Structure 1
């Protein structure tokens, strides 16, 4: 596994422990809005009654799979379940110094992690800067995952198995990233892109 793969894995492991303290209140509010008892929600979601009770009291950090099952049973999006509050506005700021940065094995591709820690288990996004000839080689992500590379400057090439496609500034490549994939800067100048990774399996399990 390359440095990107290892650091992504560590970042994902952190995600389950960074959920909002409002999560339990949100689950409880939605459950009561549907007039469901703890037992009924447990039966419909497949999540143990004791676990739901702990979540509502904010005594545990549930996995994304657990939150996904609860959101399906409550017929709401997982984004709403994870929101800070039903109508509570907020502005979250990450400074430049606090933005994690990863480098490819050849040191020529720099990825600044712009994604939010609360969404890292199913949605990640990066600011990508690559020197000429820079190569970012990645191990497969969860099955069903999709990556989207939107080129801002220069030209990138993406290779998935034996399939290769290029994109210039203003163009976007979307590709399955649940298999070995490679991103290259094939221009003779520094290239810049935004990369978004949707880890489908993380919310479908």
Structure 2
């Protein structure tokens, strides 16, 4: 590996550490906000206590599956959050630094979690970006789940159960995501899209 290659690797590693740091801080803040111990969060999420501890200390880069298990365990009902003594407006702003970002196995795709963690069990929203050649492989969601991907830039190929479709800027593709699915950037430039996942939808026979 040449000097340029080593520098790029160092940049990628530094970026991964920074992203994991944001995620770890977010998990720890929510866990403490809900007064959960590491053991309690482990029991509720099914994620090993040691793994949660490593995530919070920025010592590991967790998988998407791990993040979703933790998200579901940290969820509270939307009704509780919106309950007020009066009919006050509800406004909640999240800064860029507090937005968790997940990175694909190949390091070329990024998912910024812009959805509300309190609705994660039935509605998830992401900002998706992928470098040329980037591939994001996802496991099946709950039966009946649907994903909606709206492309803003670039050219993406979506594959679901062996069936493929191409989405270009300005186009939206909706598809069943209750089976393994893959998103690929097949264009020569960066691709960007907004993704909405509807979970617990009515089963589509």
2:88 is matched with 88
Contact 2:82 2:90 in 1 (8 A): no
1:129 is matched with 129
Structure 1 residues 47-70: Cα deviation after superposition (integer angstroms, max 9, x where no partner): xxxxxxxxxxxxxxxxxxxxxxxx
Structure 1 residues 31-51: Cα deviation after superposition (integer angstroms, max 9, x where no partner): xxxxxxxxxxxxxxxxxxxxx
1:11 is matched with 71
1:143 is matched with 143
Larger Rg: 1
1:155 is matched with 155
The whole-number CA distance in structure 2 between the counterparts of 1:196 and 1:179 is 16
| TM-score relative to the length of structure 1 | 0.64
Runs of 4+ in structure 1 deviating by more than 4 angstroms, as ranges, are none
Question: Structure 1 pair 88/182, CA: closer, same or farther in 2 (3 Å)?
Answer: same
Report matched runs for 1:20-39 at 5 Å.
23=80
Q: What secondary structure sits across from 1:157 in the alignment?
A: strand
CA RMSD of aligned residues (A): 2.0
The whole-number CA distance in structure 1 between the counterparts of 2:112 and 2:83 is 25
The whole-number CA distance in structure 2 between the counterparts of 1:136 and 1:96 is 22
Structure 2 residue runs of 5 or longer lacking an equivalent are: 1-61
Using CA pairs below 8 Å that are at least 6 residues apart, which structure has the higher relative contact order? Answer: 1
How many residues align structurally?
Answer: 140
